[in-house]
Amino acid sequence: MKTTPRTPAVAGRFYAATPGKLKEELVRLFTQAREKECNNVRAVISPHAGYVFSGGVAASAFNQIDVRKKYKRIFIIGSSHHVRLQGAAVYTSGDFLTPLGIVTVDTAFCEQLAVDYPDLFTADSQAHRAEHSIEVQLPFLQHLLGNNFVIIPMIIGTSRPAVCKRIAEVLSPYVREENLFVISTDFSHYPPYNLAVETDARTKDAILTNDPDVLLRTIQHNESSGIPGLATCLCGWTSVLTLLYMTNGNKMLNYVPIDYKNSGDDPVYGEREQVVGYWGIAVCDSELRFSATEEKLLLDLARESIEQAVITGRKSPLKPQVEYPGALQHHCGAFVTLHQNNQLRGCIGRIRSDVPLYLLVSEMAVAAALYDDRFPPVTKKDLEEITIDITVLSPMEEIHDVNRIEPGKHGILIEGRGRSGVFLPQVAKETGWTREEFLGHCSRDKAGLGWDGWKTARIFIFTGIIIAYQTPGMAAPQ
C-alpha cells in the first residue's frame, strides 16, 4: 500500500526548519520551562502559535509528562483553522514528518475509527495538509521522547457541542495511563494586553472545573461582553470541550494550570494593543500514588540522610537521579515529621518544591532533625527512638468557601499581610478540631494573623499522602 507522508506546512515560519536550529530552540524553551507539578499526566493543553510567542508555555505543558514512559498512543487533537467537517478528520495516508524526523501514525487505528463511526470520523488527509495545530506539537514530543511514539492525529471540524460530546464518548475509554492526549489551542485573540489576561483567566478557570457546560457558558459570556478586539476567547474550543466531555465526572483527574503568557510578553516582537493568549494546562491524577517499594525507598532515604547528618555532620550521598523511580522525580511539596516516644520531635517541609521529591525528602529530613527551632537537635543517642512520617502534598487549590475544607482530609495554607501558616491534613484528625478551630489555630498560631484573620486572608487546601514506618526503624551504629 502506497503511503503519503504529511510534510511540514509551517516549518520555517512557526518554528525553525533545520534540525540543528530547531533542537537549539527546543533546548532553550525547555531550559526555561516550568518544573513538573503533576503526577501521571493524562492530557496536556498546549498552544499552537509560533514558538517565539507560545513556545515557552508549550514547553512548560509538555514538561509535565513522564519522559521515561512508553505511551501506547498519543492522541493529538486540534480544531481546524481551514475546513468545516461533520465531525473530525483522522490521518490515514502515512506518517508525519518534521525537521527532527518521522513521527509514526497509527493509521490502522485511524482507519478503524472511520469505519466504525463514519458519521463522526472521516479519513480526510487533505484536512491535515495545511493545518498547523497538530504539527507544532510534534517537535516538543520528539525532543522529550525521541521518535519512539505513535500518534493519532485528529482535526475537529464541527462547531456543534453535541458532536463533540459523541466524539468524546468514542475516545473516553482511551483516557488511560498507557495513553496521552494533547489538546492544541490558543486562548484569546486580539484584545488589548490587560483584557487578554482577564479573559484568559476566566476561560482557564472554566476549564479547571472539568465541566463542559461551565466552559460553554464562559465562552458565551466572554464573546458577548463587548471586549474590544476579541475575535475568540479559545480558538480550539471544540477540542478542549471534547476533552472535558471525556474527563467530566472523573474524580481521579485534576486540571492543573501550569503556565501563562500572551504574545505581548515577547520583548522583541510583542505589542500590547492586540495580543493572543496562551495557557498550558495539565490533566493529572488527583493524587500521587506510591508503590510499597517507592515508599520504602523514600523512608530509607530520609533515615539515611538523618543518620549521616547526625553522626558525621555531612550530607548523605545520593544515588544517581536515574535510579529513583518516576514517582520520586515529581516536583511537589512534602513535609518530614519526626516523633520520639510518640511525641513530636521535629517537622519541616515545603508547600511547593523546585527540586525532585527524593531530594526534597532528604533535605527536609535533615532539617527536621537538626533545624526545627522548637526542639533541640537530634543526637546519636536519639536515633534509635526516632520514627519518621513523610507527607507528600498535592498541588495547592485556592478556595473562597471554607465549607469545602474537610478536616482530616485537607490541609490548609493561610496567607495574609505577608505572613503564612500551614497545617497538614493529619493535624485536625490528631487534635479533633472542628473546621473553625482548624482555621482559627492555623491563622493565630501559625500565620500570626489572629484567630479571625483567616476571614480576610487567602486560603488554600491540599491533600497529603502519609508514608510512615509502622515501628521504629532507626538504630544508631555502634
- pLDDT score for 250: 85
When comparing pLDDT for 176 and 232, which is higher? 232
Q: What is the CATH number of domain 19-285?
A: 3.40.830.10
The pLDDT assigned to 201 comes to: 94
Q: Is the pLDDT of residue 478 over 70?
A: no
CATH superfamily, with its number, for domain 292-468: Hypothetical protein ph0010; domain 1 (3.30.700.20)
Residue 477's pLDDT band (cuts 50, 70, 90): very low
C-alpha grid cell for residue 221?
459570556
CB neighbours of 174 closer than 8 A, spacing ≥ 6?
73, 75
pLDDT above 70: residue 299:
yes
pLDDT higher at 52 or 314 = 52
Average pLDDT over residues 257-280: 93
pLDDT tens profile 67-126: 888 999 999 999 999 999 999 999 999 999 999 999 999 999 999 999 999 999 999 999
Give the chain's end-to-end CA distance (angstroms, integer). Answer: 73
> How do residues 379-389 score in pLDDT, each as one tens digit?
999 999 999 99
How many residues are recorded in the chain? 478
Question: How much of the chain exceeds pLDDT 70, in percent?
Answer: 97
CA-closest candidate to residue 184, choices 36, 74, 101, 339: 74
Mean pLDDT of 148-170: 97
Residue 1 pLDDT greater than 60, yes or no: no
d(CA 1, CA 5): 13
Note the pTM of the prediction, 2 decimals.
0.67
The whole-angstrom distance between residue 225's C-alpha and the CA centroid of its chain comes to 30
Task: Convert the pLDDT of each residue in 233-256 to its tens digit.
Answer: 999 999 999 999 999 988 778 898
| CATH 3.30.700.20 domain residues, the chain | 292-468
Element (H, E) at 75: strand 73-79
Residue 271 has pLDDT above 70, yes or no: yes
Residue intervals of the chain classified under CATH 3.40.830.10 are 19-285
Contact at 8 Å (CB) between 273 and 263? no
In degrees and rounded to multiples of 5, residue 108 shows phi and psi of: -65, -40
Tens digit of pLDDT for each residue in 416-450?
A: 999 999 999 999 999 999 999 999 999 999 999 99
Q: What percent of the chain lies above the pLDDT cut of 90?
A: 81
Q: Residue type at 129?
A: R
Place of cell 538523618: 306
At residue 287, the pLDDT reads 66
